[in-house]
Amino acid sequence: MLIPNGSVFTPAVLTLTGIPGLESVQHWIGIPFGAMYLTAMIGNSLLLIIIVSERSLHEPMYMFLGMLGVTDIALATTIMPKMLGILDIALATTIMPKMLGIFWFHVPEIYFDSCLLQMFLIHTFQGIESGTLLSMALDRYVAICYPLRHSAIFTHQLVAQIGAMVTLRAVILVAPSLVLIRCRFQFYRTTIISHCYCEHMAIVKLAAENVRVNKIYGLFVAFAVAGFDLIFITLSYIQIFITVFRLPQKEARWKAFNTCIAHICVFLQFYLLAFFSFFTHRFGAHVPPYIHILFSSLYLLVPPFLNPLVYGAKTKLIRIHVVKIFFS
């Protein structure tokens, strides 16, 4: 195997550049990013408090919603060990503060092993979120299309089993990508990652060796998780719309339709941003790097930001309990 001159043997430290081409305005970009992150944390935390504390909300739909909230919080606040320096420890304990540390305080360094762990956790939580969205779509499908059988089908035991299966699926599929990087690559062209966080293909592109296997496996995981889930979510909502338009009451049709449209918007933004990032890494050489990295960063921020607003604010029981909390 020929190793290019100047390659680095298993670097101890990597450097995250942030958003390539927008380094001069990154401190301004950090302001809306920080606001979205703060809103996401408050919204999802409030959602979880309400669901856990109110026994009337211990139903499958709200349990899936709580699981989505936990995943959103974990996705944006993945704990990172062994960062460099006191300031880096303070700012980089989570993904979003690490990004803000790059934008505002110029602390881009991250240990190689920590970067791999961050990559694993990010993609694992993305897989869990995708599976949770599918579970919520199936729950709505049964509730609307087979309302009399819903309580018999979606028992608390089944919800727990679905949660365990969704989590195991993500871990089992993502773990080999971590092993393939750690075991296959020894030499790297550079230690600079042109990204705001440690993403699978961003790390793979650093290698000075054959990366074909890693690229193929990454695509396999993307389609095995996001592709599979999107197909079944689409089929579920097609059946839901068919059932909704058969309802005799116009008001009931409009209420169900309005709720489904909001949910579909959440699905679309999640999967569109996901597939944009996947395909741009592999086939988007013509896409400017700043657009690619900006959208990839939004991929981690927009779903946690929107989910509590769409699923929480548009759910009547959630709104009632939010009002109770604030006015009490």
**Tens of pLDDT, residues 185-208:** 888 888 888 888 888 888 998 888
**Tens of pLDDT, residues 146-186:** 888 888 999 989 999 999 999 999 999 999 999 999 888 88
Task: Look up residue 244 and give its two tokens.
Answer: 């909704």
From residue 149, give the alpha-carbon distance in Å to each of 1, 141, 156. Answer: 61, 11, 14
> How confident is the model at residue 328, as a pLDDT?
65
Do the beta carbons of residue 128 and residue 168 sit within 8 Å? Answer: no
Of 191 and 250, which is predicted with more confidence? Answer: 191
- How many angstroms separate the CA atoms of 161 and 155, rounded? 10
Q: Kindly report the CA angle at 43 between 275 and 311, in degrees rounded to 5?
A: 60
Task: Look up residue 117 and give its two tokens.
Answer: 């762990």
Residue 225 burial (CB < 10 Å; 0-12/13-18/19+)? buried
Residues comprising the chain, all counted: 328
> How confident is the model at residue 165, as a pLDDT?
95
Eight-class DSSP state of 57: G
Q: Per DSSP, which regions of the chain are E strands? A: 8-9, 13-16, 109-111, 187-188, 192-193
Eight-class DSSP state of 193: E
Residue 288 burial (CB < 10 Å; 0-12/13-18/19+)? exposed
Average pLDDT score over residue span 215-238: 90
Helix (H, G, I), strand (E, B) or coil at 296: helix
User: Which residue's structure tokens are 């190793």?
Assistant: 3
Question: Residue 26 pLDDT more than 50?
Answer: yes
Question: Residue 260 pLDDT more than 90?
Answer: no
| Helices 289-307 and 26-53: angle between axes, nearest 10 degrees | 20
Q: Label the pairing between strands 13-16 and 109-111.
A: antiparallel
**Tens of pLDDT, residues 63-90:** 998 898 888 888 777 544 333 334 443 3
> How confident is the model at residue 9, as a pLDDT?
79
Eight-class DSSP state of 56: G
Percent of the chain with pLDDT over 90: 16
Question: Residue 210 pLDDT more than 50?
Answer: yes
> How confident is the model at residue 95, as a pLDDT?
63
| Long-range contacts formed by 133-136: CB under 8 A, 24+ apart | 133/68, 133/229, 133/233, 133/266, 133/267, 133/270, 134/166, 134/229, 134/232, 134/233, 135/64, 135/67, 135/162, 135/163, 135/166, 136/61, 136/64, 136/65, 136/68, 136/263
Q: Please state, rounded to an integer, the average pLDDT across all residues of the chain.
A: 81
Helix (H, G, I), strand (E, B) or coil at 9: strand
Eight-class DSSP state of 313: T
